Structure 1
Amino acid sequence: MIPSNILDVLIPSEGSRKIPDEEHCLACQLMGSALCLAGGIYFMSEIPFQGSNSSNKKNPLWWKNSVKTAGMGLFGYGVYRGGEGWLWNKDIKYKDTFF
């Protein structure tokens, strides 16, 4: 039988570690921020509700408002993540990158 690591997800092993400060990556932070901002803008727009799903029966008002609220949260997290390191949490040290 092939060993599985599914239980390691639910119950972390002794070898798990916290990511130290010197391993924070600026490029990873910027990509994550850009993805959250783009996803938030997408969910706050009317684009997800266009096309064949435009009827109120398939997309009631409470669902549209829930998706837009989640988009606002995602956009807010993107702003927070993008400003981390230069607007707040200025003590973060990034690892050296090649650009």
Structure 2
Amino acid sequence: MIPSNILNIFTNTEPSDISYKEECLTCQIMGSATCLVAGAYFMSNLPFLGSNTSVKRNPIWWKNSVKGAGAIIFALGILRGGEGWLWNQEKYLTNESK
């Protein structure tokens, strides 16, 4: 019989340090790029291309809500992209000294 480590998930006796998250540049770039692209997509008219014939299918309030959510996602991408070198510099400087 092949030994399995599935039970170790439920009976883990080793303490884990979850309080410290390693911030890497690649993760920051990918997260920022994903939010920027998704936000730009939702702010454009691309999600509603096939539905312009029927106003009942996608009312104006729904289109404005989707575009507003896209603007929020885009802003979060800017926030994530500038974190560490434009703002929150002290957080990253203290993590590098550890």
**TM-score of the aligned structures, taking structure 2 as reference length:** 0.73
Gaps of at least 5 residues in structure 1 are 9-13
Segments of 4+ moved more than 2 angstroms:
14-19
Q: Which residue does 1:40 correspond to in 2?
A: 39
CA offset at residue 18 of structure 1? 2.7
* Residues 42-99 of structure 1 deviation map (CA, whole Å, 9 limit, x = unaligned): 0000000001x2221110011001100000000000000000000001121577xxxx
Q: Which residue does 1:11 correspond to in 2?
A: none
**TM-score of the aligned structures, taking structure 1 as reference length:** 0.73
**SS of 2:89's equivalent?**
coil
- Higher relative contact order (Cα pairs below 8 Å, separated by 6+ residues): 1
Aligned residues: 84
Q: Alpha carbons of 1:49 and 1:87: their partners in 2 closer, same or farther (altered >3 Å)?
A: same
User: Which residue type is aligned with residue 63 of structure 1?
Assistant: W
CA offset at residue 27 of structure 1? 0.3
Q: Which residue does 1:20 correspond to in 2?
A: 20
| CA RMSD between the two structures | 2.4
Specify the structure having the higher radius of gyration (Cα): 2
Q: Which residue does 2:3 correspond to in 1?
A: none
Calculate percent identity across the aligned residue pairs. Answer: 55
